[in-house]
Amino acid sequence: MPSGYAGAQPAPVEREITQQERALQLRQQNRERLMAKVKKRAAVVPLTPQQKQREAEQKRAERARNREMLAMHSRWQPGTLGGSDALWRRSQSAKAKKERVSPQLASRLRTVMERLKAQLGKPYVWGGHHPLEGFDCSGLVFYAFNHVLERKLPRTANGMYQDPHLKPVRADRLRRGDLVFFNINQRPGADHVGVYLGNGEFIEAPRRGLTIRISQLTDNFWQSHYLGARRILTDEATL
């Protein structure tokens, strides 16, 4: 065998490995360019109105929690409303325009709202259903609505939730005066009820030791215990 032959053999193999590596590098570069284009296209796709509203609601709930924490500081003063609050209000305003009500229904709703808000700050009392003694959650609803109804409501939260005369309402269709129901104690059925006020707020008699207050439906606690909603007042009937 001629000398030097064995040393010349690796050259073709060496060139073959280099070509494979170069091809692999080119494929990786092409993949990276394609991924960059995909990301760029995804970045410019505008949000849908529903996505914008969900994002606004999340930011609004986070700000509400931050305000509660800041309110404990003696020097804190509330600031101006941000963009997501404005978006929330615009969406609620647009929804309200779509759901115009008759003057008769508007009058009944106004009466209910006035009776509810007049109880703010009064104590929670289990079994209470009168301003002079205080209210539990269903007692507050019972007091506020029965004044304008032909048929009285059931007395308990679960009785109201199960009442076939009350119209179920989707969360995205909530209107002022709708009842919102929760399951807090993990027993079957509804064990808490409040009245939706609009703008993501509802009024409630929370529990012993607390007073009647306005709460945020978008708070994580209420969202995790939310059961559903029912409509009492409609243009078709007064129950």
User: Contacts from 116-123 at CB under 8 Å and sequence distance 24+?
Assistant: 116/140, 116/144, 116/195, 116/197, 116/203, 117/203, 119/143, 119/144, 119/205, 119/212, 120/203, 120/211, 120/212, 120/213, 120/214, 121/211, 121/212, 121/213, 122/211, 122/212, 123/211, 123/212
For the chain, the structural domain boundaries read 11-43, 101-239
What residues act catalytically?
137, 192, 204
Topology (CATH level 3) of domain 101-239: endopeptidase fold (from Nostoc punctiforme) (3.90.1720)
Integer Cα distance of 138 and 194 in angstroms:
8
Integer Cα distance of 78 and 43 in angstroms:
34
Q: What is the pTM of this model?
A: 0.59
Q: What is the CA radius of gyration of the chain?
A: 31
Q: What is the pLDDT tens value at each position of the chain, 239 positions in all?
A: 555 545 555 555 555 567 777 777 887 887 787 777 666 654 445 666 666 777 777 777 676 665 555 444 444 344 434 444 454 455 555 555 555 678 888 999 999 999 999 999 999 999 999 999 899 999 999 999 998 998 889 999 999 999 999 999 999 999 999 999 999 998 889 999 999 999 999 999 999 999 999 999 999 999 999 999 999 988 754 44
Contact of 200 with 216, CB cutoff 8 Å: yes
Distance of CA 72 to the CA centre of its chain: 25
